[in-house]
């Protein structure tokens, strides 16, 4: 699997105070090695959270997430956490593929401790995968 980030996020504290961070710009990745169907992902309030077109994943401005769970956040790893949190929330790929894409993103960003983080999400990620209510509109 290969992940290429097209534009890095700029972040702000979550305006709604539910999560730690909020994107202030759209963020996009090209995903290779796993097929993701073209779709739109909406929150329970019909707000567009992100979309996929031809394996290009875009997360919309103002998407909120919690960073690296049980691991220190850094400028280097927050884009990895953003991708992983969105994949877990949207469940547009399997949990295994979401975890593999996290590791691929960490590899591309030269983020340290990628194998330790991968082991953590494989062991404990089941508690968070697919827990948020979203609507997937396949195109």
Which residues in the chain land under pLDDT 50? none
Q: Is residue 137 part of a domain?
A: no
Q: Is residue 94 part of a domain?
A: yes
Q: Give the ranges where the chain is alpha helix by DSSP (H).
A: 78-90, 95-108, 114-124
pLDDT for res 52: 97
Task: Find the domain containing 21 and state its range.
Answer: 2-131
Q: Does the pTM of the predicted model rise above 0.85?
A: yes
Provide the 10 A C-beta neighbour count for residue 21.
20
Calculate the alpha carbon distances from 46 to 30, 40, 43, 134, 138 in Å: 25, 11, 5, 9, 15
Q: Is residue 138 part of a domain?
A: no
pLDDT for res 20: 86
Q: Is residue 139 part of a domain?
A: no
Q: Is residue 136 part of a domain?
A: no
pLDDT for res 60: 97
Q: How many domains does the structure of the chain reveal?
A: 1
């Amino acid at each position: 699997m290969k992940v290429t980030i097209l534009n890095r996020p700029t972040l702000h504290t979550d305006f709604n105070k539910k999560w730690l961070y909020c994107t202030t710009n759209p963020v996009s990745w090209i995903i290779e090695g796993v097929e993701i169907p073209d779709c739109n992902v909406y929150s329970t309030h019909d707000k567009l959270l992100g979309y996929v077109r031809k394996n290009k994943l875009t997360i919309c401005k103002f998407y909120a997430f919690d960073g690296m769970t049980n691991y220190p956040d850094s400028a280097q790893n927050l884009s990895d956490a953003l991708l992983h949190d969105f994949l877990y929330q949207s469940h547009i790929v399997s949990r295994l593929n979401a975890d593999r894409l996290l590791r691929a993103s960490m590899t591309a960003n030269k983020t340290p401790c990628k194998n330790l983080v991968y082991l953590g999400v494989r062991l404990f990620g089941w508690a968070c995968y697919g827990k948020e209510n979203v609507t997937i509109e396949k195109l």
